[in-house]
Amino acid sequence: MGYITLAEKAAGEYEEKKSQFFAVICPVQTEQQAVDLINSVKAQNRKARHNVYAYVLRENNTTRYSDDGEPQGTAGVPVLDVLLKRGVTDVCAVVTRYFGGVLLGANGLVRAYSTACGKALDNAKLKVMCDAVKVDCRCEYGFYGKISYILPEFEVKVLESDFGSDVRLSMLVKAEKSEEFCKKLTDITGGKAAIDISDIFSADFA
């Protein structure tokens, strides 16, 4: 099964009645990485009133959040809801609030925290991760045209190509399509292509 995560750290901000909300969202793979991010943001914003967070991990199907002193359900849950509704995982979001002197009320807090997190996600570069294999193929030049023709059918990403005494292609293929793809390679080359297949790993197909 594929999943969506972040390629790199992203940020967003929002202002509500003079309170400023700064959101940071990062790719993480473990709870420790999430905690390290949260602590880092807190250390950089010691004068902030609140550092609210939420994270979603594939590891043990984990979700966590904290209102960090805001009224229950008005901060951490809205941030978590944004992550879940956007369908991202292996991510941690921290929204820092600098109080502007005006109370926002429950609805205002929910709107502010969710909007700030949403803006950070809007600015993020996403990755669509899928189970994949690397297929290395070596063949004669005469088969290259036929191979190139079938690549879009199997959503193949060519990683490297080398045109020396023969054609060598290193390709990324979704795991569920790899068996059929390799059979097709064998068929169109009459069994003359040398094909090596890696073990399954996660790769970006965005």
CATH number at residue 178: 3.30.70.240
Which residue ranges of the chain lie beneath pLDDT 70? 1, 206
Backbone angles phi, psi at 157, to 5 degrees: -105, 120
Q: What is the pLDDT of residues 96-120, one digit of tens each?
A: 999 988 888 899 999 999 999 999 9
pLDDT of residue 2: 81
Q: What angle do CA 109, 114, 120 make, to 5 degrees?
A: 130
7 with 102, same domain: the answer is yes
198 Cβ neighbours under 8 A, 6+ residues apart:
133, 134, 135
pLDDT of residue 1: 62
Final residue belonging to a domain, choices 75, 104, 124: 124
Final residue belonging to a domain, choices 124, 148, 183: 124
pLDDT of residue 169: 96
134 with 161, same domain: the answer is yes
Final residue belonging to a domain, choices 124, 145, 168: 124
What is the CB-side half-sphere exposure of residue 26 using CA atoms within 13 A? 16
pLDDT of residue 206: 66
52 with 140, same domain: the answer is no
Other C-beta atoms within 10 Å of 160: how many?
10
110 with 13, same domain: the answer is yes
Place of tokens 């902030």: 48
Beta partners for 174? 132
- CATH number of 120's domain: 3.30.230.30
11 with 93, same domain: the answer is yes
**3-class SS of residue 51:** strand
pLDDT of residue 204: 85
164 with 62, same domain: the answer is no
Q: How many residues can be counted in the chain?
A: 206
pLDDT of residue 122: 96
Residue 25: domain span: 3-124
DSSP run (H or E) holding 182: helix 175-188
146 with 189, same domain: the answer is yes
Looking at the 3D structure of the chain, how many domains does it have?
Answer: 2
160 with 86, same domain: the answer is no
Considering the entire predicted model, what is its pTM? 0.77
146 with 115, same domain: the answer is no
What is the chain's Cα-based Rg? Answer: 23
